[in-house]
Structure 1
């Protein structure tokens, strides 16, 4: 699935929220509504100054406060109004939510190991990664469809949700999504529209994307 006609030259900037206390504690947040730390706010402010230079045309964000607060730093600079969408929330992970990494390994070790092997697992009885992509990717594509030719959409969301969305938009089989790697707090990935659909231009970036020059542009 990429759902994108060729030739419009649009760009997606998929931006993870800033740091939270649960990030520092390696505690699984999921859909729990955790605020940014002071460091997280500063991260968002710095990143927003960089991303504003890309002159985005629209901003959409998860409705959880860590994503809303991150997006607000960008909209304050750009004057854009963010659209908040529950479809962009982090993966719901049921009984895993609120547990540290060590507690998950202790209580749900077999389930965790199976997930890491690429098996289909409802972590903590929650959502499958494919179900997250089923809700998030269409929300991103719907917003992208409203962009002008050559326009840029900033999507402010969560690490797991962004990885599954990137995987879906690139047309990768779900068992390969883990290969994309994670996004650091307030870093982003960039997808550009090519002749055959979306392609990954930047991943886990923290500086402004540079144009590709040379034989493979």
Structure 2
């Protein structure tokens, strides 16, 4: 439980897509939710509404927009969309399955999993994703009233790098934060020494983690 007056950030991953099921790397490709993904968003939105959020910000891709819309429908809040919350751009990896990536970019894939700074498929570094996403989240959180709740609707990789940055963790250790299941969320609470991780991958266990950040 957080102390009274503590501001909270809820980082909520989008619902299931067909590419998640196919283990196909999405990145910034604009992929729709499946019917299961829409049902996940509806269910999770009802749970998150009980936190009485004050504001919602979202990636502008369809899978996050449609997820955020479910929470907006039950809370009456407007959603602010920003491309800074998009998933990591992964260049030539996008659209490939993980097996195809390992076959074509094996050493690059292995280096990424070792925690090395890698431009996957010629795309963004994870630190560059944090550079664009974390400041946006911090600015939105600063506008919250005492005890306010900000919901950030984004993507698995972007959420992980944002959490790592807000917690002040060194980038090679961000991999220690496990991936989020579809429509699961993590909660950061404001402490005297900065943000603290209060919950991680909440709301959907034991659902498998399917997506780019596996």
2:90 counterpart (57, 81, 93): 93
- Tell me the distance in 2 between the aligned counterparts of 1:165 and 1:122: 18
Correspondence 1:9-88 to 2 at 5 A: 9-88=6-85
1:8–1:193: 8 Å Cα contact kept in structure 2?
Answer: no
Kindly report which structure 2 residues correspond to 1:1-217, keeping only aligned pairs within 5 A, or say none: 9-206=6-203
Calculate the aligned-residue CA RMSD, in Å: 1.0
Q: TM-score, normalised by structure 2?
A: 0.93
Please give the per-residue CA displacement for 1:75-113, whole angstroms capped at 9, x wherever unaligned. Answer: 000000000000000000000000000000000000000
Deviation at 1:9, TM superposition (A): 1.6
**3-state SS of 1:30 partner:** coil
1:24 Cα deviation after fit: 0.2
Q: Distance in 2 between matches of 1:151 and 1:196?
A: 18
TM-score for the superposition, normalised by structure 1: 0.91
SS in 2 for 1:193: strand
In 2, the alpha carbon distance for the partners of 1:8 and 1:103 equals: 48
Distance 1:47 1:14 in 2: 12
Q: Which runs of 5+ in 2 are unaligned?
A: 205-214
Q: CA deviation at 1:8?
A: 5.8
**Structure 1: where are the runs of 5+ without partners?**
1-6, 208-217
Q: Which runs of 4+ in 1 moved over 2 A?
A: none
CA distance in 2, matches of 1:46, 1:118: 34
Equivalent-residue separation in structure 2 for 1:25 and 1:67 (angstroms) = 19
The Cα offsets for residues 4-62 of structure 1, whole Å up to 9 and x where unpaired, read as xxx96210000000000000000000000000000000000000000000000000000
